[in-house]
Amino acid sequence: MSVSDSESSSSSHGGEYKFFRQITRDRLLFEMLGSTRTGDSKSTWKVLIMDKVTVKVMSHSCKMSDITDQGISLVEDLFRRREPMTSMDAIYFIQPSKENVVMFLSDMSGREPLYKKAYVFFSSSVPKELVNHIKCDTSVLPRIGALREMNLEYFPIDNQAFITDHEGALGELYGKNVENSRRFDACLNTMATRIATVFASLNELPFVRYRAAKATDDSTATFRDSIPAKLAAGVFNNLLKYKCIPNFPQTETCELLILDRSIDQIAPVIHEWTYDAMCHDLLEMDGNKYVVELPSKTGGSPEKKEVLLEDQDLVWRELRHAHIADASERLHDKMTNFVSKNKAAQMQQSARDGSEISTRDLQKIVQALPKYNEQVEKLTLHIEIAGKINSVIRELGLRDLGQLEQDLVFGDAGAKDVISFLRMKQDASPENKLRLLMIYACVYPEKFEGDKASKLMQLARLSNEDMKVVNNMKLLGGSSETKKTSGGFSLKFDNQKTKQAARKDRTDEEETWQLFRFYPVLEELLEKLSKRELPKNEYSCMNDPSSTDQERTKRGSVRKSHASPAPAVPERKAPAQSMRSRRTATWARTSNSDDGYSSDSVLKSAAREFKKMGQRIFVFIIGGATRSELRACHKLTTKLGREIVLGCSSLDDPPQYITKLKLLSETEISTEVLRF
């Protein structure tokens, strides 16, 4: 029995590059569950026991079939009454808390333990007093097959993203009267621990950078402004503990940038026009689940079907970051090509035309039908979803609103345009008008001084509750270039226009669709970090690298795009009413596939290109990240030749974010309200 470290490496067997989520999955399945299949336990079924946190960790990374393949016949809750299974071994994957250890000892101590042998894996570092507590129970010691720290207490939500599962982080860290409270400390400490386990799990030691606090006379703003620095210190202190683990890197191997929501308050509320973002913003989804109505196979009323929009669905994986108009076109092209080239479809058409079908051809149809039907069903599903989104866009008049939002951000629209929209579009939904005013407040904060804000709210016919949202944006603070009169909302970033703009227009840098100009501030920050151009006075480093470290890191990075930057694509003008002015950027546009499954070969081809990747860049956003920021991380992974991993307290869609912001000024926030 020993308390051992994680022996995982970010590289995979055979030299093929593995992304963040795959490494996490492999560690859980093979390093943890697989390691128990030795000796007498090699061929026996086992019980897996987890607590409420570790069961989430497991479910975010593995399917039940994956767990069963590793010899698990039953999954149990640590705190529920369990039947004794004295002939079976048990695997405990639990947090290192006193309550969990006490429960484990009560299971395995005495003359009649619940299980034959126990393999115990902790999700994070175990305090010495808990280890001693276990060692003191002499009846349990001989029944322990393993006692290890997995150091894996984060929740992967994407191949390149994870959350720390802090849905209430905005309120607990930035709300009223939270400074020095137990909730504040508990939230920040747990967040730091979980972020640190990411690096222990991947066997990486980062340079820990963070958005530095800005000098201010307002003590309230100061404590909120210093939250990234406090989290960075917490993560760094946890990482120092890992340095004593055998095989853990002693020198830095990657980058970590810790930010908060103040860097960009536009990204969480602007309409993002990708297939992924539109699904979560406009449709009634429950996480990744969506109930879609499909045409009946028998010609009756539409059939309801619950579907999961996730990476296992290769059509979703290919199109999720594409512009909704592009995704719709490509889906129809896929269906047309598939039906025209599929033999079963051709033979069925011949039968409908009255042509004779031979017995051999009929046999071929029967053999091909299951796969044909499966592929047609998958494409039909996405065509229906894309069609529903386009219907909602038309019903809500989102094209005009989206154009105004982006024009505001890039300095092509001002007060007159906003006022005109609010007067002409009285039927626009309250939420959409509120989102527009939030963007307006970020770009033109002086328009919300004094009674100007209430007049705008009256014009928009919004309530005082809605006004709270705009006021609470001040609690998050602004960027380093905030105007003194802004009240903390302005989000200036490399502004090179004479008009007020929140960021520089970059559409001349790559092909794109109209209403696809917007990019999150995070994208520009990550590019600057990769080129080592982040201002040191605005972004500090806990373990400031020496020049030799910098050179070593640069040599370790493969950044093809920076070595030979692609020339800008000249703008192709489109008619004024066209939804697109330029095509989708090449990073997001994979090769078209004729059916729903041949896109797998495209993805495998892309994976081969990542065999030689530079050092990873991790970025963590306190207060929640957005789908546009996740898209930026995928885009920059291809562009920079470095895997960008996005971490956040939660991944929020606009309705969720607005609800959280509205509650920010409440003194007590119920966790039930934050469950979406």
pLDDT tens-digit series, residues 518-547:
999 999 999 999 999 999 989 999 987 553
User: What pLDDT, on the 0 to 100 scale, is given for residue 178?
Assistant: 87
| Mean pLDDT, rounded, of the chain | 82
User: What pLDDT, on the 0 to 100 scale, is given for residue 221?
Assistant: 46
Count of beta carbons in the 10 Å neighbourhood of residue 307: 18
Q: How many percent of the chain have pLDDT more than 90?
A: 59
CA 265 vs CA 261, 472, 477, 513, 520: distances in Å: 6, 11, 9, 23, 9
**Cα angle 337-342-348, degrees, rounded to a multiple of 5:** 115
User: What pLDDT, on the 0 to 100 scale, is given for residue 349?
Assistant: 55
Q: In this predicted model, what pLDDT tens digit does every residue of 155-192 receive, in sequence order?
A: 999 999 999 999 999 999 998 888 888 999 999 999 99
What is the Cβ-side half-sphere exposure of residue 199, based on CA atoms within 13 angstroms?
34
Most confident of 241-245, 248-252, 292-296: 248-252
CA–CA dist 578, 485 (Å, integer): 39
By mean pLDDT, which of 30-44, 47-61, 118-132, 450-464 is the weakest?
30-44
Most confident of 72-86, 285-299, 471-485: 72-86
Region 141-150: what's the mean pLDDT? 95
Joined together, the tokens standing for residue 151 give: 């150091």
What is the Cβ-side half-sphere exposure of residue 153, based on CA atoms within 13 angstroms?
26
User: What pLDDT, on the 0 to 100 scale, is given for residue 670?
Assistant: 52
| pLDDT at 485 > cutoff 60 | no
The candidate with the shortest Cα–Cα distance to 231, out of 163, 184, 265, is 184
By mean pLDDT, which of 21-30, 31-40, 275-284 is the weakest?
31-40
Q: Are 369 and 401 in contact (CB under 8 A)?
A: no
Q: Are 422 and 460 in contact (CB under 8 A)?
A: yes
CA–CA dist 28, 66 (Å, integer): 10
Q: Are 269 and 626 in contact (CB under 8 A)?
A: no
Joined together, the tokens standing for residue 518 give: 């917007």
Q: What is the CA radius of gyration of the chain?
A: 27
**Cα angle 164-169-171, degrees, rounded to a multiple of 5:** 170
Q: Are 526 and 644 in contact (CB under 8 A)?
A: yes
By mean pLDDT, which of 10-24, 105-119, 436-450, 651-665 is the weakest?
10-24
Q: Is 314 left (phi over 0), alpha (psi -120 to 50) or beta?
A: alpha
CA–CA dist 489, 336 (Å, integer): 48
By mean pLDDT, which of 49-58, 120-129, 266-275, 353-362 is the weakest?
353-362
Region 437-461: what's the mean pLDDT? 91
Q: In this predicted model, what pLDDT tens digit does every residue of 613-653 receive, in sequence order?
A: 889 999 999 999 999 999 999 999 999 999 999 999 999 99
| pLDDT at 335 > cutoff 70 | yes
Q: In this predicted model, what pLDDT tens digit does every residue of 570-613 receive, in sequence order?
A: 333 333 333 333 344 555 555 444 454 444 444 455 555 556 78
User: What pLDDT, on the 0 to 100 scale, is given for residue 671?
Assistant: 47
CA–CA dist 490, 471 (Å, integer): 13
Domains along the chain with CATH numbers: 3-152 (3.40.50.2060), 156-264+520-568+615-665 (3.40.50.1910), 275-396 (3.90.830.10)
Joined together, the tokens standing for residue 44 give: 């026996």
By mean pLDDT, which of 280-294, 448-462, 603-617 is the weakest?
603-617
CA–CA dist 46, 33 (Å, integer): 10
Query: How is 557-625 classified by DSSP, letter by letter?
Result: ---HHHHSPPPPPPP----TT-S-SSPPPGGG-PPP-SSSSTHHHHHHHHHHHTSS-EEEEEEEEET-B
| pLDDT at 479 > cutoff 50 | no
Strand, coil or helix: 328 = helix
Region 364-373: what's the mean pLDDT? 62
CA–CA dist 156, 163 (Å, integer): 6
Region 401-419: what's the mean pLDDT? 94
